[in-house]
Chains A and B, each alone.
Chain A
Amino acid sequence: MTVTLDPEHNETHALFNLPITWIGLSTLEIGSGDGRLTWRYAKKAARVIAIEPDAKAHQAALADRPRGFEHVKFLNVGFDDFAKRHKEKFDLAILSWSLC
């Protein structure tokens, strides 16, 4: 089975067309899944915490980590738990298809 998501990179273009400077931002991605979107923007951010409650998707993200992305930390946790326990504040949060 061959299925390819957004090979046109429309999502990345839309993301980088937003009026925001990514350089130096500490970023929280909520619902990072297998890291598909994370790898597309993370190089621009200073630090990324990407949270995903689904263990299988979380493992896939860890397995697919490219070189040069050591500043990205994946956590297998739901948003509620994360928000209750985490004290650090971020410059940017990304809800990647996870609000609904």
Chain B
Amino acid sequence: MQAESMVHALEQIHSLLNPGAFLIDIHPNGKLVEFILPLDQREQRIGYLQESDDYIEYRQADEAIQTVIKKGLFQVEGTGEFEFLVHADSFDDLKTYLEEKWSDAVITDEVNANAKKLEAEYGVKKTILRERIKIGLLKQL
């Protein structure tokens, strides 16, 4: 979705809300998503997931939210951030999942090779995808 479409969607949501109602927005914070190999007391980073559009949509979403706040449609009532983890039995399982669910995800050859190297080195197949997510509560004005 383009930034203008996001603003339009937020304006439409505004019109679907009762006076003083709330909007919760949940979206990634746009920082690089990590592949992690979980070990007993620590973890090993395998590498980062890239996106073909360089995570631009998350920055656009932030801008769209700011736009409707400036327009006086909403005000911020609360914000937060949390880690969203996807646990997979193996790096290959995670790749299969991403191919189906995350169409613009790019896993570089370097990350692929590092996953195989670390898997062999530590004897651990389980892999975690770690994403940082923003959550915001907006009140309709």
A interface residues (Cβ-Cβ under 8 A, vs B)? 1-8, 10-11, 13-15, 17-20, 28, 30, 37, 79-80, 83, 86, 88-97, 99-100
Contacts and interface: CB of A to CB of B under 8 A. Distances in A.
At the interface, is chain A mostly helix, strand, loop or mixed?
mixed
Contacts of A86: 16
B15 interface: yes
Interface stretch (B34-42, B75-83, B105-113): B75-83
Interface residues of B, number: 43
A3 B97 contact: yes
Contacts of B77: 18-20
B26 A96 contact: yes
B27 A95 contact: yes
B57 interface: yes
Interface string B7-27: 001101101111001111111
A98 to B, nearest CB: 8
Given A1-B97, A89-B18, A11 B1 contact: no
B6 A2 contact: no
Interface of B: 1, 6, 9-10, 12-13, 15-18, 21-28, 57-58, 60-61, 64-65, 77-78, 80-89, 93-94, 96-97, 133, 135, 137
A79 B23 CA distance: 15
Given A28-B16, A100-B6, A100-B60, A93 B23 contact: yes
Contact of B85 (A8, A14, A19, A83): A8
Contact of A2 (B9, B81, B82, B88): B88
A40 to B, nearest CB: 12
A6 B65 CA distance: 25
Contacts of A30: 13
Given A20-B22, A92-B24, A100-B28, 19 more contacts: A2-B89, A3-B88, A5-B84, A6-B84, A6-B86, A7-B87, A11-B84, A13-B82, A15-B24, A19-B77, A19-B137, A20-B78, A83-B12, A89-B17, A89-B18, A90-B17, A90-B21, A94-B24, A97-B26
